[in-house]
Structure 1
């Protein structure tokens, strides 16, 4: 049973290739985890020690990512919005992913619990 988790939310409207999606999720996971390490070390340590639960879900638009980010910030959950460099499939600066947490599962679920898995 996990007490903590991290959720990466990717934009389904971008129709990213599987490889591109994987890389964007990885960027989000690392960046948000590092932020949690600095801002919420007790959450990071708990998440890390119990196996680093991660879930990938989808949002329909950039706007939805911003709305979810605002909710995460209101609840004090570390998060990271990922902008692509534009070297391969999409234009530079395109927002692709929002990573939320790691944080307590019950708090993270308030934001992401209704989103569909990728």
Structure 2
């Protein structure tokens, strides 16, 4: 079985500073993982407490997120060159049942005060789910 990976899609056309890119990607990754964790907590597949995240003993199959917590996952950063492309990737992910975190920056430090979609990240997922959506995008 292939290992899950987390896809991060950045907007290259914004020409963000390196620190801004890192911050935006971090926001997206954390948001996507937290959303996936919340879904799995509702399903009883993981338990989070003060000692960290623990897989529950159950008949539930191992999920990409639980595998990420136990063995790690690759993060792959690709890019698009427009807001329209970014929003299209987000729609395709949702249509495929993949949780995605679309990040809209407030525009305070860049973007002249205009809220701007900068990037998105998927929940950790198997390549067969994400490659049809992001497989043709160039590496960032």
Q: TM-score, normalised by structure 1?
A: 0.91
In 1: Cα distance, 2:70 partner to 2:6 partner? 13
Cα offset for 1:13? 0.8
**Which residue in 1 is equivalent to 2:137?**
115
Q: 1:77 aligns with which of 72, 88, 98?
A: 98
Asked if the contact 1:11/1:97 (under 8 Å) is kept, the reply is yes
1:95 lines up with 2:120 in the alignment: no
Shift of 1:87: 2.1
- The unaligned stretches of length 5 or more in structure 1 are none
Larger radius of gyration: 2
> How many pairs does the alignment contain?
118
Q: Which runs of 4+ in 1 moved over 4 A?
A: none
Q: Distance in 2 between matches of 1:89 and 1:113?
A: 30
CA distance in 1, matches of 2:103, 2:8: 10
Aligned to 1:47: 68
Deviations 1:16-37 (A, max 9, x none): 0111001100000000111111
Gaps of 5+ in 2: 46-62
CA RMSD of aligned residues (A): 1.6
Question: Does structure 1 retain, via aligned residues, the 8 Å contact 2:3–2:73?
Answer: no
Length-normalised TM-score, structure 2: 0.78
Question: Bigger shift: 101-110 or 56-65?
Answer: 101-110
Q: 1:102 aligns to what SS in structure 2?
A: coil
